[in-house]
Every structure is written in C-alpha cells, then in structure tokens.
Amino acid sequence: MALTKMQYDTIEREYQERQLLSQRLRQERRAQVRSRIPGFAQVEDAIASLAVSQGKLYLSGEGDALEALKEQLADLSSQKRRLLTQAGFPADYLEPVYQCADCRDTGYIGREKCHCLRQREIALLYQQSHIQDMIERENFRTLSYEYYQGEDLTRFEKAVCVSKNFVRDFGENYQNLFFYGTVGTGKSFLSGCIAAELLSRGYSVIYFSSNGLFETLARYSFDNKSKEPLYNLYKDIYNCDLVIIDDLGTEVTNAFVTSQLFSLLNERHLGRRPTVISTNLSLEELRDRYSDRIFSRITSSYSVCKLTGRDIRIQKKLGDPARAVI
C-alpha cells in the first residue's frame, strides 16, 4: 500500500497553508503591537535599518564596525522585548508560531522528513486501509468483560492490564507484546486499543494484517515498479514507533516470509522499537511453523499473553454473552 501523487499533493498544500497561517498571524500581531505600544515601531524600523547595514559591512569585511553594529542590534532587540513585556505581551509574541517547531512547518529537517510529516502520511495510510474505522470502534472505552468467565476472564483481565501498562510506559520502557490463543477472544481488539491510544498521543503506529505485511514486503522486494512508491512505507515498518502485526500465521509461510519476519523483529528489537503481535497459533505451532530464531526472539523479548474462551463474534450473533460479574 502506498500514497498516491494526489495524496502527497494534498499534504504539500497542508504544509503551505500552515506556513501562510503562521505568516498572517505574525503580521496581525505586529500590526497590533505597533499601533498599541508607543515607540515600538521606531525601534523595529531601526533594527531593520541596522540589519541592512550589517549585511553591507559583512560583505565589505569591516570587522570592527561589524562588531559595533552587532552590539547596537542586541541593545535594540532588548529594548523591543522590554517594550513588549511592559505592555503585557509575552517577550516572544512576535516570533513565528509553528504547529511543529522541529521542522518549522516545512515537513523536513534538513533533507529528512520530519516526524510530523511521516505521521501525516501514516494517518492517510490508515484512512486508505480503513483501519481508522476499526480503532474508532475498538478502543479501551468500548472494552467489555461480559463475554468472559472463569479462567478466561482472568486471562483477559491480565491481558488488559498488560496492554494498559504498555501504553502508559510507552516511550519510557521498551516492551513488546505477543497475544496468542483461540479464535475470537480479543487479541485483535486489544491490539486495536493500543493503536488507538498511541495514535491519539502522537506516536507513529503501523497496523498490518499478517497477509498485508508480507504482501507489501514481497512487492517491495520483487516488483521494481513498487519499490520507489513503497520505499517510505518500507522504512517506516522498520523505524516507526510501533508496528502491530495482526493474525500472524494466516499468511502462506515460506522461506521468504520466515526471513522477512525475523529481519523485522530482530531489527526492531536491536533498535528498541516496540512490536505487538497477535496470532491464533499455539506456542508449539509457532515454533514448528517458523524458525527457532523467531520462536526464541518472541519468547525471550515479548510479554506473552494467552487468551481463551468462546468466540465472541459467535456469542454476539447468538446473543449469548457469558455476562460474568467483575
């Protein structure tokens, strides 16, 4: 999956609008201040005049005169800040106001894309894949325990606690999660809860079904036409704040899949970038289906949560919840 040229053009226009908005706000504030503070316009005009002189002296190489001019500029700038604060304005009231101070609303830091631009691209990918709709339905606010009872309820409660702790400590403590167990017991739901919460906090999250992940990696690896448009997404799969792989084991497993999965898990682990995996496979099936290296990486580096019980989707259709009392 990749963004279209039209989507990239839309993002570029958004950043242009951000910059224009910042410029208009700054102009409005300057006009307000110049009209309300006596002497402010004169100080600001003097700074502009000296700045022109500074440029001329810099080109002529007159070092002593340049240093004297710098002192005058510093004194006038100090006067400017003092006039602002005495009139009740913040000292930085006329500084540019950016939605992202890191890139100054350009989308780039040097030649690299800023985190805000990458998050905007990821948000569009979410819309394109309809995952945004899913996490609006499946989040901690809509979580329910009514379809669990007994040991199944205990396991689900533990998994919820682990998930909430994962979100709470995200960015501070490096963790990975592995949800496994029977079909329809809340594994994908908890993955969606985590995605929704972290996205709302501004983290970059990529959520893939297992099939979708390996199809994307295969297209990037073998389809020359897809390599360039998929390049940024490929980088993000390895480098974004969180990758969620849903329904591991539903893909056709082969040497390519096994190699790509180990590479992804290992590289993200070495970079201390968290990963969440859900699967209907048992631990024994996981070990038999994938390499020993993958099994070892998951069991040694992930918090493992087992979920069991009757398929909630079937219970909802039958209108037969366990209705356990918590």
For residue 223, give both structure tokens: 């389809």
**Residue 284, phi then psi, degrees to nearest 5:** -65, -40
Q: What is the dihedral of CA 242, 272, 202, 245, to 10 degrees?
A: 0
Higher pLDDT, 66 or 322: 66
* pLDDT for residue 252 is more than 70: yes
248 C-beta neighbours (distance < 10 Å), count: 27
Instruction: Give the pLDDT of residue 3.
Output: 61
**Average pLDDT value for the chain:** 86
> Which tens digits make up the pLDDT trace of 194-218?
988 887 787 878 888 999 899 989 9
All residues at 6 or more sequence positions from 117 whose CB lies less than 8 Å from its CB, including other chains: 11, 15, 103, 107, 108
- Angstrom distance (rounded) from CA 274 to CA 268: 7
- Between CA 244 and CA 192 the distance in angstroms is 9
Listed in sequence order, the DSSP H helices in 37-149 are 40-60, 63-86, 115-129, 131-137
Average pLDDT of span 45-60 = 73
Q: What is the pTM of this model?
A: 0.65
- Check: CB of residue 283 under 8 Å from CB of residue 299: yes
Q: Which residue has the tokens 């490929």?
A: 234
Taking the CB of residue 222, how many other CB atoms lie within 10 A of it?
10
Per residue in 60-119, pLDDT tens? 656 566 677 778 888 888 998 999 999 999 999 999 999 999 999 999 999 888 988 887
pLDDT one-digit tens code per residue, 296-317? 999 999 999 999 998 887 887 7
Residues 6+ apart with CB under 8 A from 48: none
Residue 148 class from Cβ within 10 Å (0-12 exposed, 13-18 middle, 19+ buried)?
buried
